[in-house]
Structure 1
């Protein structure tokens, strides 16, 4: 497993964790009269005087009219034209109050900061080169994926342009010059590279070469990893220090990549919301088709969530927006839950990494290991501190170098390993290798400073019997760098993946979908050591990362493939196809399980299920949503006029007199005193032949489900049919219960939707 690393405002759930922005105001000394602070200012664009040709000229004029104005070039950071209407600027409290008195002012957001969350996976997704979605989509040819992240390492072979088509003529982006980054490194694969750091620097946080490059070049490696996961070109013979060896390629290997660097590795590990918003704004202007964000702000209403607002602007222009769900792991921890965003949780792959040990009595055990060398240890003495519980668990400072130097130490744990204690301890005392007996290891791939592996405590019984029954227990052999495919059960819901229900909008089931997010091999930046071993620092250009940050670009890549096949589909149609084609059965024939508990997971954990790209290409039916549907959804949230203006970025809208359901491909019913909930849906037929769909309902005890009508007949493509789903629970139903609706036709299409009922 790879460690969840915290970096700037990002939920970089790569067990490297996805950008979680903490709303912190940062003051910046700038005036003798008063301190300046950065604010994002939302303006009602309908108030722009006709005398101003552009919104930016209007915004600058507003700043020039303030009391004690500085030069507007110094005050203004960004003027936004696509994600929102407004600007970000450094203002005093007095200047801010003057702007807020204007009738054109809609909202103010103090600058916010946060931290980063964070070859086999395309095959695991069923993406094969000769059939299915991948060749049908020409491998994503002509589609542009915009990645909002930490930058990119352009020299990585994943971004070579062998076999790539020309840059689309509609592309308006560019590659910027900067520190250690020349526009000449861009090509037909990497067609855009821009960086945004004005907000960060306005807060007094400097970008120095010690911590990052003042350009689009990736210092940390996260953006390189997500980009190559979504759309990396074919690169044979790569591995993580020998593990997972094979050909690396992105989900859409012929799609173009545009990087928008908004996250920075600084001495204070911060990134600014104003920069993230500027990156999204530019991506829309440049003409991306898909936008992937492994980041997000805190859980806040949509009218305060700049990612939600900016994403709605992108959706309105036909851009598919994919975001990581977060790495908090518990209930109600979802980020990026707006219904116009495709929200992605993380699942495991059917691949594991091992070491084997054989004792001199012939017993052999296989354990988990990421030790980055093909080491072979033979005929080594074993050490087990059985006379002292503290020694047996290898607690920090417990071992005596004179007793254990040169031996293989057994660390007996009934709970989890203390990464920074026990591994450090066996390394400190000069142990030859270590065996950790535990069921809940939190060792990560960069923690293996000496040869070591973890074994389940069930294996510990036999090992303890052996070492306590021999005067000189010996390890016969210990082997490393073993990769195993077909691991069962898989996929599972990753332990760190955020779960629903969404606290902001519990009436929409989130996450939407599960995708590979554990031990994903992809390109990284080789500029900094991945780990240390003794006196050596190890670097690599491909590494295993984990997190919902890794899951999101998988879905972005699939969205690119679907968009290449179905160019007229809306973002909602693409999400619907992905969701209704998902599967919920693992490779043992069981409902998907929770990696942490081993128990059956629920749609609150995995949404519609695990992504199944090739079936999504021909879903049969789609649940489409247009912009007015989102307006109706927002009307139903009870927002006031000003809050609606903020989210919709328009002065006028129409709300129906009666509440309407959002035409979502999943169902969640929140029960208080009532026992019956009805949902209205409309499905659009996207098949080629006449078809008749029959409703099949999975109803657990305590729940009744009825679809009316139960048969939907279609005689032509794009024909629409409405139905009502009724969900009823009885008094004995548990607090959370779920079922399923499947529409099945005679052409072997299955259109599946989860149904969740929660009693409050």
Structure 2
């Protein structure tokens, strides 16, 4: 589930383009006007009426009056309007005017993840797949807010005739809330009610309507329609758009607000069951149960039935990283998704003094606060005060002031935050190497974290200046930052505790500060003791990664109707990126060094490459049954999953998976041979040869090293033998020791890569 699920819930203003026809001259522009509310004249009862009166008072030489757009109640003090140059000149001379910013427009993408993933309207997987048209994605989650712009059905064709679902009637929800985008919505709460949940006393809705925001967010990420001018209080501006923007959505609500946000296994299974009955093509579950054998895991059980019917299933890997063996949803028929960062930073720009030095740091403070040449406190000569350790600052010195806290690797940014709150400081600049780990909801005060190198610039300026001042511009969004992606700190790592013989997670996808649709009725972004509301929110978690993958799978399934769920997963894994945008191996954000397949599986998903993988590793239902037989499940346990009274199987832990994991024991030497079958998915004969990148201490042999495919869907078998000599003192150093097996097409362009990793059994 989303890492912060969801303690602070979020509503923002709708942004509207002013049609060009309303403008009679080229000098009319849209502006954001900052006003000083303390200067509001006494006759006005509200600042809105003051702004309206101000606009009315402006003379219009061209007889076209100003157009008021929005009054901002929390995100900033002021309003926006369409003004001529004459209007603007008059307004800037009026009492109370602080500053004017001309309107800017964000890039037209999912608040950035589609572009980061290479999706383009003109070329590649989006147009090839018709943007996922005809696919139906089932989301098992907290419900949905149907009025969100992300679920508008403009331009959508009729609902597929095969659809058997419906929109149920319940609290604040009925069939009219569905349309050609949101084609089904149901809720399941009997299990929670039996456990003592009284929905009527929790403020949640006894219906598919979302109270927590989580399901609305995941749904919009997977298949949201284009929603222009979306942002989180000015951060991450752009057009919010799902991975498969023409796909249909069906919501199955199984989580209700109960202070722990639990989902009953009975309700979860009921939701999966109904989704299968309704005819979904794909399922995404951004929730998980504690790791248990598959036969007692409701998600593993329910999704096995889905896979049998050709339904692709993606699930979040869990937010218990960075430690190993923390993977949830690790059944081999589930595509398990870890979370990575994207190349976008949410920032504030700090200007020192007269502007001779500027630094940029992380901040998601949700108000465009005017911080201009304000004094800043720094405890010169007292190291404990300089680093703002607990109870080192005197409130008499810093109350109402901005403070600077120097870097110290033994002091966390949270201790510095405590000092800011305790002393009543107005805001802060923190020099810290952990600012990147702070979640959105932490920024309830106007503070900025800068890295230690920039912190040195700030400190040197403060030491040398007699009367140091700073200016801060919040709501800065930087694109193209490097390195990205990185493996998120919270993303759960493999192997799977109860069944480590398949590598998990399978793949990495965006899961940090993802902008998606939100419920507009709940207190969200904090400012001190107050909360703002929003229609779009930034949320982090593997919950956000799973819907990215299910949306991409919908595109692939549209482009390749005959591909199985395993083939779709294989295509994503074998074409995934293992190099970041700085042309280096993808790093673990915690350690700052190269991650391993236990962190990111096959790599970071690359949708356009996945549409043409060349070869796939396919897996049938019987193969999964053979795998479970090798786990020594009893007949009854197997029947729990398969629903078959007479299970026939040949025990085999070596699934035809697109990755390889060697589970080590305490003996000095380990040798294991994997058998794999590759299937060609191109309309031509082709030949591939194998190349192995083996880590130190690991010998790898491929037989045969060259394989030939005479036609599409022809198959070829190979063996991969791994020998590992642990020496006289086997250690955990071999956990995550990895390399790659890559098949290169002769006289072609296809490259099929699989990770090979070793780990000790838990």
Identify the TM-score tier after normalising by the shorter chain: 0.7 to 0.9
3-state SS of the aligned residue for 2:526? strand
Give 1:757's aligned residue: 758
Q: What is the CA-CA distance between 1:464 and the residue it aligns to?
A: 2.8
3-state SS of the aligned residue for 2:738? strand
Give 2:686's aligned residue: 691
Give runs of aligned pairs for residues 606-755 of structure 1, distance below 5 A. Answer: 606-656=600-650, 659=652, 661-672=654-665, 673=667, 674-731=669-726, 734-736=733-735, 737-745=737-745, 746-755=747-756
3-state SS of the aligned residue for 1:148? strand
Q: What is the CA-CA distance between 1:535 and the residue it aligns to?
A: 5.9
CA distance in 2, matches of 1:176, 1:395: 55
CA distance in 1, matches of 2:524, 2:265: 28
Give 2:518's aligned residue: 524
Give runs of aligned pairs for residues 90-101 of structure 1, distance below 5 A. Answer: none
Task: Report the CA distance shift for 1:421/1:697 in structure 2 as closer, same or farther (over 3 A).
Answer: closer
3-state SS of the aligned residue for 1:559? helix
CA distance in 1, matches of 2:479, 2:366: 18
Task: Report the CA distance shift for 1:268/1:670 in structure 2 as closer, same or farther (over 3 A).
Answer: closer
CA distance in 2, matches of 1:142, 1:643: 37
3-state SS of the aligned residue for 1:296? coil
Determine if the alignment matches structure 1 residue 346 to structure 2 residue 339: yes
Give 2:4's aligned residue: 5
CA distance in 2, matches of 1:198, 1:3: 24
CA distance in 1, matches of 2:607, 2:254: 30
CA distance in 1, matches of 2:424, 2:145: 37
Contact 1:740 1:753 in 2 (8 A): yes
Determine if the alignment matches structure 1 residue 574 to structure 2 residue 568: yes
3-state SS of the aligned residue for 2:590? coil
Q: What are the superposed Cα offsets for residues 348-400 of structure 1, whole Å, 9 maximum, x if unpaired?
A: 00110111212227222211111122334222111013455554444566544
Q: What is the CA-CA distance between 1:467 and the residue it aligns to?
A: 2.4
Task: Report the CA distance shift for 1:209/1:567 in structure 2 as closer, same or farther (over 3 A).
Answer: farther
Q: Tell me which of 120, 132, 144 is aligned to 2:124.
A: 132
Runs of 4+ in 1 over 6 A off after TM superposition: 416-421
Q: What are the superposed Cα offsets for residues 30-49 of structure 1, whole Å, 9 maximum, x if unpaired?
A: xxxxxxxxxxxxxxxxxxxx
Q: What is the CA-CA distance between 1:422 and the residue it aligns to?
A: 4.5
CA distance in 2, matches of 1:622, 1:263: 36
Contact 2:402 2:426 in 1 (8 A): yes
Give 2:304's aligned residue: 312
Q: What is the CA-CA distance between 1:6 and the residue it aligns to?
A: 4.3
Task: Report the CA distance shift for 1:759/1:322 in structure 2 as closer, same or farther (over 3 A).
Answer: closer
Give 1:382's aligned residue: 376
Q: What is the CA-CA distance between 1:421 and the residue it aligns to?
A: 6.2
Determine if the alignment matches structure 1 residue 275 to structure 2 residue 274: no
Determine if the alignment matches structure 1 residue 541 to structure 2 residue 515: no
How many equivalent residue pairs? Answer: 649
Contact 1:414 1:439 in 2 (8 A): no
Give 1:149's aligned residue: 141
Give 2:48's aligned residue: none
In the alignment, structure 2 segments of 5+ residues that lack a partner are 11-110
Contact 2:700 2:723 in 1 (8 A): yes
Contact 1:521 1:542 in 2 (8 A): yes
Task: Report the CA distance shift for 1:718/1:272 in structure 2 as closer, same or farther (over 3 A).
Answer: same
Q: What are the superposed Cα offsets for residues 291-327 of structure 1, whole Å, 9 maximum, x if unpaired?
A: 0000111111112112111111110011111100001
CA distance in 1, matches of 2:285, 2:597: 23
Q: Tell me which of 370, 388, 413 is aligned to 2:364.
A: 370
CA distance in 2, matches of 1:193, 1:417: 48
Contact 2:142 2:255 in 1 (8 A): yes
CA distance in 2, matches of 1:735, 1:420: 34
Give 1:227's aligned residue: 219
Give 2:85's aligned residue: none
Q: Tell me which of 404, 408, 427 is aligned to 1:414.
A: 408
CA distance in 1, matches of 2:221, 2:639: 37
Contact 1:333 1:503 in 2 (8 A): yes
Determine if the alignment matches structure 1 residue 122 to structure 2 residue 122: no
Q: What is the CA-CA distance between 1:469 and the residue it aligns to?
A: 3.9
Contact 1:563 1:574 in 2 (8 A): yes
Contact 1:423 1:447 in 2 (8 A): no
CA distance in 2, matches of 1:720, 1:642: 35
Give 2:502's aligned residue: 508
Q: What is the CA-CA distance between 1:426 and the residue it aligns to?
A: 2.9
Q: Tell me which of 281, 285, 307 is aligned to 1:289.
A: 281
CA distance in 2, matches of 1:563, 1:176: 28
Higher alpha-carbon deviation: 401-410 or 313-322: 401-410
Q: What is the CA-CA distance between 1:153 and the residue it aligns to?
A: 0.5
Higher alpha-carbon deviation: 744-753 or 441-450: 441-450
CA distance in 1, matches of 2:206, 2:726: 61
CA distance in 1, matches of 2:385, 2:174: 55
Give 1:321's aligned residue: 313
Give runs of aligned pairs for residues 587-598 of structure 1, distance below 5 A. Answer: 587-598=581-592
Contact 1:3 1:445 in 2 (8 A): no
3-state SS of the aligned residue for 2:180? coil
Give 1:358's aligned residue: 351
Task: Report the CA distance shift for 1:399/1:647 in structure 2 as closer, same or farther (over 3 A).
Answer: same
CA distance in 2, matches of 1:312, 1:328: 24
Q: What are the superposed Cα offsets for residues 164-213 of structure 1, whole Å, 9 maximum, x if unpaired?
A: 12111111111011111121010000001101111111111211365311
In the alignment, structure 1 segments of 5+ residues that lack a partner are 15-118
Give 2:159's aligned residue: 167
Contact 1:208 1:266 in 2 (8 A): no
Contact 2:366 2:525 in 1 (8 A): no
Determine if the alignment matches structure 1 residue 334 to structure 2 residue 327: yes
Give 2:174's aligned residue: 182
Contact 1:438 1:457 in 2 (8 A): yes
Contact 1:152 1:221 in 2 (8 A): yes
CA distance in 2, matches of 1:391, 1:152: 48
Q: What is the CA-CA distance between 1:139 and the residue it aligns to?
A: 0.5
CA distance in 1, matches of 2:306, 2:145: 26
Task: Report the CA distance shift for 1:758/1:428 in structure 2 as closer, same or farther (over 3 A).
Answer: closer
CA distance in 2, matches of 1:394, 1:161: 52
Give runs of aligned pairs for residues 408-557 of structure 1, distance below 5 A. Answer: 408-415=402-409, 422-423=416-417, 425-427=419-421, 429-441=423-435, 442-475=437-470, 477-534=471-528, 536-557=530-551
3-state SS of the aligned residue for 1:446? helix
Give the CA RMSD over aligned residues: 2.2
Task: Report the CA distance shift for 1:314/1:529 in structure 2 as closer, same or farther (over 3 A).
Answer: same
Higher alpha-carbon deviation: 270-279 or 459-468: 459-468
Q: What is the CA-CA distance between 1:661 and the residue it aligns to?
A: 2.2
Q: What is the CA-CA distance between 1:437 and the residue it aligns to?
A: 1.4
Q: What are the superposed Cα offsets for residues 667-717 of structure 1, whole Å, 9 maximum, x if unpaired?
A: 011233343210001111110111111111112222221211111111111
CA distance in 1, matches of 2:313, 2:460: 56
Contact 1:427 1:449 in 2 (8 A): no
3-state SS of the aligned residue for 1:200? helix
Contact 1:694 1:744 in 2 (8 A): yes
Contact 1:165 1:254 in 2 (8 A): no
3-state SS of the aligned residue for 2:428? strand
3-state SS of the aligned residue for 2:441? coil
Q: What is the CA-CA distance between 1:235 and the residue it aligns to?
A: 1.0
3-state SS of the aligned residue for 1:295? coil
Determine if the alignment matches structure 1 residue 252 to structure 2 residue 244: yes
Contact 1:146 1:258 in 2 (8 A): yes
CA distance in 2, matches of 1:385, 1:611: 47
Q: What is the CA-CA distance between 1:461 and the residue it aligns to?
A: 2.9
Give runs of aligned pairs for residues 70-81 of structure 1, distance below 5 A. Answer: none
Contact 1:205 1:268 in 2 (8 A): no
